[in-house]
Structure 1
Amino acid sequence: MSISAFKIANKLITGAAAIEQLSAELTRLNVQNPLIVTDAILVQSGTVDLALAQLGGRRYGLFDQVEPEPEIAIVEACTRAYREGGHDGLIGVGGGSAIDIAKGVAAFAGHEGSLGELFGVDLVKRKGPPLIAIPTTAGTGSEVTNVAIFSDKQAQIKKGIVSDYLLPDVALVSPLMTLTCPRSVTAASGVDALVHAVEAYLSVNASPITDAIALGAIKLIVKALPKAYANPSSLQAREDMATASLMAGMAFGNAGVGAVHALAYP
């Protein structure tokens, strides 16, 4: 007799006003000095300012050196910033790269050994500092998965940390955070979410729960992605895509993915 488990972020808050719950969630998690993990483009676009405005007057640190397909060295640099700044929580603001870096820091911050010791499955020994994920693209679903992937350019491979301790404490999914997303990224990340949902539905580890969520994500993406691409300022289309990406992440984060996923590797 088979069994299946279902795991996602500890708490999901969705909708246009979701970002307004940031201060309340930081209070609930007893975070007074968070480190915000993001990239320079999101800082310049003003997207990060939407999160900063909801910190409730807290002091904070800003690490904006995240790059696409982030290298292991960025995790190590961000962890140094976390430790040296005396921070007590993490807020990942961005696409999958920023959120994965925040997850990596959450795993590594309290680890006494090297980061390399955490690559693999269930090698993180304890829960790290509180982590809030705020996606700014509708595609990766990283805000609800227990995986963080990084590039080892020397070895020309991607390495992952897989642990339920990486699941964010809170995922704040607001379409307002995706309004500055360029059309090209909207299209590419939307197709990414679609593929995630299809992979989950076709997975040998799929369950009735993941199937229902994956099918729901597919239907929503087919309806909303053309609208979000054609009219980037449409809050309804952006919200539908943010929801669909979240659902696709929930589906593949539990059913798994297919061989096509490895095509993104170096």
Structure 2
Amino acid sequence: MLTKVAPTVRQRATSLLRTIQNHSGACPCHACQSGHFGSALDAVRKLASAPPQKEYAFELAASNIRYGNGVTREVGMDFKNLGAKKVAVFTDKTILNLDPMKNAIAALEAEGVQYEIYSDVRVEPKDGAVKDAIAWAKRTAPDAYLAVGGGSVMDTCKIASLYESYPDADFLDFVNAPLGKGRPIDKKLKPLIAVPTTAGTGSETTGTAIFDLVSAKAKTGIAHRALKPLLGIVDPINTRSMPSQVKSSSGLDVLCHSLESWTAIPYYERVPRPTNPLLRPAYQGANPISDVFSFEALRMTVKYLPRTVKDPEDTEAQEKMLLAATLAGVGFGNAGVHLCHGLSYPISGMNKGYKHAGYAVDHPIIPHGVSVAVTAPQVFRFTGPTNPDRHLQAAEVFGADISNAKAESAGEILGEAVQKFLIGLGDQPRGISDLGFTKEDIPALVDGAMPQNRVLMLAPNFQHDDERKREDLAKILEASLTY
């Protein structure tokens, strides 16, 4: 049975406008005189040029989550239950020889599940590394995927799975616009189970995958609900091998995920309203469901992150941070992030040679959590005027006294609270100058941030023309040189 799809108001107006313009001398409805014809033409033109409608709905999408000490040993049964005959296992060179990977492989072998391992995932991957993973997945042709590692492993696995299912797609087809074509994913992908080994990205819950696009000197990625794993195996035991610096930097990602999604524009302020639910973005703006996850993740991070950094034996704090990362993943995976992340992409992509301590890699690296947090104090000073109540509620979580706070001071209060928290963690860059950037680099960093429309559009106090946006980004970066 065929179903007629109702055209949008703009489509109807455009169609009517074409009809009128092509008609030689009369209104197509009543053959009215030219005066009436001109009025009708003006009315239709006005309708066709009407501003896009605001969103009116939001959707919640997240992976199934299994949480508990030791649940990695169940992953073999999960793939057997799925009927998987060959599993592609993604990891990196470090995790390959650690307990999380050993336990996952033992679980597969216990159930007789066949597998092949791809261990060449790069931490903070560039597009070339991602393309290598895609090529391997196409050659391997598995019927299911397993990712064991941090956000880079999970994101690389997601992208490899996507392009293996679309073998004829160009690499930029699904990459977020305007750097890529932003093509929607219109088929079901093969099942993917994600086992995080860091407490940071929340990638086990989301349909987002990030990488460096070298030609643009910035991070970008792919975001679509179809990318989210079928199941996230959230096993606190798997995070115990993290070095202190990795705990700190990955925890900063949780901090910014929760704060940015909590302060993002409301979902009903986002434009345009999609013409089809398939086109509704993964990042939709703050909404009543994401708020619950984001705010609880913020409370847990403020309480437990300092403990995980200062005491490697504090297993309770490690378990809570892993749970906070997952909660924040559900929150930002539906609400989205904004300026901290938008600015972080060029900061990482234009790294001049900075190598963060504690990372076992042979190349310069600005960890993602570091790149997002380094501008956070100034970002929330900037966004404060748009929603003082939310900023003050967040500041109170950090311990700020808001009993007599004025609305116009909300941004400064939260910015100061975030800054104090970052300094208290210790061994973190105090501004982008510690990463090697100078005032002369700011125009290039702004150029790198401007294409990140997917996240910038969700930033409060940022709904202006491009020239004003560039000015605002430059001011935030200049104020973030040092603190």
- With structure 2 as the length reference, what TM-score do the two structures score? 0.53
Deviates more, 1:209-218 or 1:71-80: 71-80
- Displacement after TM superposition at 1:2 (Å): 3.0
SS in 2 for 1:62: strand
* Structure-2 residue corresponding to 1:175: 236
Looking at structure 2, the residues matched to 200 and 244 of structure 1 have their Cα atoms a distance apart, in angstroms, of 14
* Structure-1 residue corresponding to 2:113: 58
Task: Give the counterpart letter for 1:5 in structure 2.
Answer: E
Looking at structure 2, the residues matched to 123 and 6 of structure 1 have their Cα atoms a distance apart, in angstroms, of 18
- Displacement after TM superposition at 1:122 (Å): 4.8
Pairing of 1:196-211 with structure 2 (within 5 A): 196-204=257-265, 205-211=285-291
- Displacement after TM superposition at 1:95 (Å): 1.0
SS in 2 for 1:193: helix
Deviates more, 1:221-230 or 1:174-183: 221-230
Q: 1:204-247 CA distances to partner (integer Å, 9 max, x unpaired)?
A: 12112111111111111122212222332433222111100000
SS in 1 for 2:56: coil
Deviates more, 1:237-246 or 1:50-59: 50-59
Looking at structure 1, the residues matched to 227 and 161 of structure 2 have their Cα atoms a distance apart, in angstroms, of 7
* Alignment gaps of 5+ in structure 1: none
**Retained in 1: the 8 A contact 2:80–2:113?**
no
Looking at structure 2, the residues matched to 228 and 50 of structure 1 have their Cα atoms a distance apart, in angstroms, of 23
Counting strand residues as a fraction of each chain, which structure ranks higher?
Answer: 1
Task: Give the counterpart letter for 1:33 in structure 2.
Answer: K
SS in 2 for 1:61: strand
* Structure-2 residue corresponding to 1:190: 251
Pairing of 1:1-266 with structure 2 (within 5 A): 2-9=56-63, 11-55=64-108, 56-111=111-166, 112-120=168-176, 121-204=182-265, 205-265=285-345, 266=349
**Retained in 1: the 8 A contact 2:124–2:211?**
yes
SS in 2 for 1:117: coil
- Displacement after TM superposition at 1:59 (Å): 2.1
Deviates more, 1:196-205 or 1:54-63: 54-63
Looking at structure 2, the residues matched to 254 and 85 of structure 1 have their Cα atoms a distance apart, in angstroms, of 32
**Retained in 2: the 8 A contact 1:122–1:162?**
no
- Displacement after TM superposition at 1:36 (Å): 1.0
Q: Compute the RMSD of aligned alpha carbons.
A: 1.6
- Displacement after TM superposition at 1:74 (Å): 2.1
- Displacement after TM superposition at 1:105 (Å): 1.1
**Retained in 1: the 8 A contact 2:77–2:107?**
no
Looking at structure 2, the residues matched to 122 and 239 of structure 1 have their Cα atoms a distance apart, in angstroms, of 37
SS in 1 for 2:173: helix
- Displacement after TM superposition at 1:123 (Å): 2.4
* Structure-1 residue corresponding to 2:463: none
**Retained in 2: the 8 A contact 1:43–1:49?**
yes
**Retained in 2: the 8 A contact 1:50–1:177?**
no
Task: Give the counterpart letter for 1:226 in structure 2.
Answer: P
Looking at structure 1, the residues matched to 293 and 213 of structure 2 have their Cα atoms a distance apart, in angstroms, of 33
SS in 2 for 1:115: coil
* Alignment gaps of 5+ in structure 2: 1-54, 177-181, 266-284, 350-483
Q: Which has the larger radius of gyration?
A: 2
- Displacement after TM superposition at 1:49 (Å): 0.8
Looking at structure 2, the residues matched to 122 and 197 of structure 1 have their Cα atoms a distance apart, in angstroms, of 28
Looking at structure 2, the residues matched to 167 and 31 of structure 1 have their Cα atoms a distance apart, in angstroms, of 18
- With structure 1 as the length reference, what TM-score do the two structures score? 0.94
SS in 1 for 2:88: strand
**Retained in 2: the 8 A contact 1:122–1:163?**
no
Q: Identity of aligned pairs, percent?
A: 31
**Retained in 2: the 8 A contact 1:109–1:128?**
no
SS in 2 for 1:118: coil
Runs of 4 or more consecutive aligned structure 1 residues displaced over 6 Å after TM superposition: none
Looking at structure 2, the residues matched to 247 and 22 of structure 1 have their Cα atoms a distance apart, in angstroms, of 21
Q: 1:165-187 CA distances to partner (integer Å, 9 max, x unpaired)?
A: 10110100111111111100001
